[in-house]
Amino acid sequence: MRVSFKWLQEYVDIPVSPAELADRLTMAGLAVEGLEEPGKEISNVVTGRIVKIEPHPNADRLVVCLVSTGEPELRQIVTGATNVREGHVVPVALEGARLAGGLVIKKARLRGVESRGMLCSGQELGLDPKTLPADQANGIMILPEDTPLGVDVRPVIGLDDVIFDLDLTPNRGDCLSMIGVAREVAALLGQPLRLPRMEVREIPGSSLEGRVRVDILEPGLCRRYVARLFTGVKVGPSPLWMQERLRAAGLRPISNIVDITNYVMLELGQPLHAFDYDRLKDGHIIVRRAHPGETIVTLDGSRRKLEPEMLVIADPGGAVAVAGVMGGLETEVTENTTTVLLESAHFHPTSIRRTSRVLGLRSESSTRFEKGIDLEGCLAAANRAASLLVEIGAGEVVAGAVDNYPSPAAKKTIILRPERVEYILGAEIPREETADLLTRLGFKVQDAGRDLLVNVPSYRVDINLEIDLIEEVARIYGYDRIPASLPYGVTTRGARTGEQALVKRLKEVLVECGLTEVITYSFVSPAVFDRFKVPADSPLRRALSLQNPLSVEQSIMRTMLLPGLLDVLARNFHRRVTSGAIFEVGRVFLPREGEALPEERPVLAAAAMGQGAAGWNRPPLPLDFYYLKGVLETLAARLGLPGLHLERERENPAFHPGRTARVVVDGKTVGVLGELHPDVLEEYELDARVCAFELDLAALLALAGGPPRYQPLPRFPGVRRDLALVVSREVPAADVLRVIRRAGGNLLRSVELFDVYEGEQVKEGCRSLAFSLLFQAGDRTLTDAEVTAQTEAISAALDRELGAELRK
């Protein structure tokens, strides 16, 4: 919000400097991001009238102007501007003048003709070309004909001003207006507030009867609609003072009628819209939702397709405006308009926000509607516009107004306890001062015994609770006046829960194993299911759709973590980072039948490609299936996960069918580990093998047994035995290891697979697996008989369960 200091002084006396006022506003919660002095660099630029224009004798694109600046002698100036005419009043930079950007004007000769100064454009005076009329945006600035000659141009065009750039919080929609800011200034400085004149001189004996009709078909989206009618309208430029104020606020003057609507919006915070009445059918306004497939050409010339949830302003022939966002081109006020219907309405903030975002249209009006406007201010704003119309001589006002107000707003009254104010703020603020502070902000305060009854004004839509009133008291009283104090009360020492501690330890283990943690978006594209070859009937496809997605690429809640990780690897790969291992601990969102809220299931996922870093005594390790398998085994050892092993998996279409396994812990499947399918990698344009796992983190944490306990080194020697077995090629080595460990009992300290052989000495369809077994007791040295007995028990179990034979 850009606020003009000069304009602000029309409503409140300001006995402090702009810099001090900026500090006071910032401390009161209206942050001033910066102060702008638009005419600070401008000097020695005056107003002048072009008396005569002659062709340049030596240049076709230049003309020679004789300019009067109020002095007896005319000034000769050469210019290439094409928009100047004899009689125009323009800004004239004299010799020695300084313009925006530090440009200094000197006497010069252009193609042999002397030029004593320069005719100035708005840009050269520091004005934004977007705020200038279209014919002056790239040409000389044209001033009104009655502008005095030879005077400093800065006050004439509003450059002797200071502009406040306010960064308002979303709840302070009331301060998106000059009156709203002036009210804050008046309360802070203890000055009276002067409201603008609202009296309207109407055409005697006139009436709206039978000329204007307003029907609200969606009272939930449009709580009030006020219409006024102006006749005898003469469309033309608005007065210079109005143009100055619009430019100071960052708006471009267009015409007197449009400028009035923008001026009132800036002044009172109520957006208005002007329709060409003669182009409305039967003068009938209908506030409704858009019909399916309905379109409208908006004022920017674009045809826009409307959706059924959008609110539109229509006549019997169709939509003529997108409510609260932008008007339609068909009923635009033009230079031929003679009768105007003025709209002043209240639209639902959420409806306007959604419509604005879907259409990609952001306007000053939609910004104010989104934050909430004063429901009681619609009629006052329409009357203010009517008053200005008569004041500048742009037309006449038909008596009366159509005010369709289906459900008038109830008054808000809040009980405020003075002792509660003192308790919350920690400052002793007298009861009378509390009442005075609120009264200065426009609240009506009544004495109710020990308490205060506070009536909330309609423009403060953000005030609903007692604590809101206490905040208002603190703002105006001054945060710097509230004494500092130490907190008191019962304190508790913060600590992680058991689950949080496990997750922290899990992340530390993964980082120690060489993985990097990433965090990806919870919002994903529906296309990830096709990319990951998820079957059409898979429950993973039943993802929650967002009601207001930022884009199609982020329109549903994720049901898998791996697509996000693959996006990260692909982004790195396409930037020539071809190796890496990453992991994420996050939640997936799985819809629950018959319930509005989804199940938020914690998941651990990791993905790796390329090669790891080389060590001082080893070459780079491939970041493949066995690397992630080792990560899982390390994780199981560090978290105390019982009996982690892998089982072959061929049914997951996202993974390579021959290089994928289910991850099983304590007999429960907790996830999948494997190499991603080449078709999936092709979807992400990845020309590298990628291995990944995705695990149910809740199941892992439930099975975790805590950190390993210290065990003393064994005092007695162990006995090693090698065991060579012939087993079917279809039997996984992990199954053999599991049987050996179970049958070995407490005396079997460790077992390792050290050889796999397939060849002539092993029968067809089988292979030889050789294991090294370590037997050891903690209280004695084992005898050969004990070790032999354990070895025979293991052999018998292998023969019985897996059909394994000792190799001879």
Annotated binding site for Mg(2+): 462, 468, 471-472
**Of residues 31, 21, 22, the one with CA closest to residue 189:** 21
10 Å CB burial of residue 658 (0-12, 13-18, 19+) is exposed
| Chain centre distance of CA 44 | 45
CA dist 785 to 724, 742, 770, 788, Å? 20, 20, 22, 5
Classify 361 as helix, strand or coil: coil
| DSSP code per residue over 560-593 | -SHHHHHHHHHHHHTTT---EEEEEEEEEEE--T
For 738-804, the three-class secondary structure string (H helix, E strand, C coil) is HHHHHHHHHHEEEEEEEEEECCCCCCCCEEEEEEEEEECCCCCCCCHHHHHHHHHHHHHHHHHHHCC
Q: Which long-range contacts (CB under 8 A, 24 or more apart) does 106-114 make?
A: 110/56, 110/59, 110/62, 110/78, 111/56, 111/58, 111/59, 111/62, 111/78, 112/57, 112/58, 113/56, 113/57, 113/58, 113/62, 113/64, 113/76, 113/78, 114/76
Tell me the residue ranges of DSSP E strands in 449-579: 451-456, 516-517, 523-524, 556-557
What SS3 class is residue 452? Answer: strand
Residues annotated in a binding site: 462, 468, 471-472
Q: Three-state SS for 548? A: coil
Look up residue 149 and give its amino acid: L
Which pair of structure tokens corresponds to residue 217? 């078909």
- Taking the C-alpha atoms of residue 277 and residue 474, their distance in angstroms, rounded to an integer, is 49
**DSSP strand E in 433-541: where?**
444-448, 451-456, 516-517, 523-524
Cα–Cα distance measured from residue 392 to residue 175, given in angstroms and rounded to the nearest whole number = 27
Residues 713, 719, 720, 723: is their CA dihedral positive or negative? negative
Contact 290, 297 (CB under 8 A): no
Tokens of 393: 């001589």
Residue with tokens 């329709």: 275
Handedness of CA 330, 335, 338, 339 (dihedral sign): positive
Percent of the chain that is helix, strand, coil (3-state, to 5) = 30, 30, 40
Smallest Cα–Cα separation from 202: which of 3, 396, 422, 478? 396
Q: Which residues of 159-195 are buried (b: 16+ CB within 10 A; e: fewer)?
A: bbbbbbebebeeebbbbbbbbbbbbbbbbbbebebee
Cα gap 774→749, rounded to integer Å: 6
Q: Report the half-sphere exposure of 508 (CA within 13 A, side-chain side).
A: 9
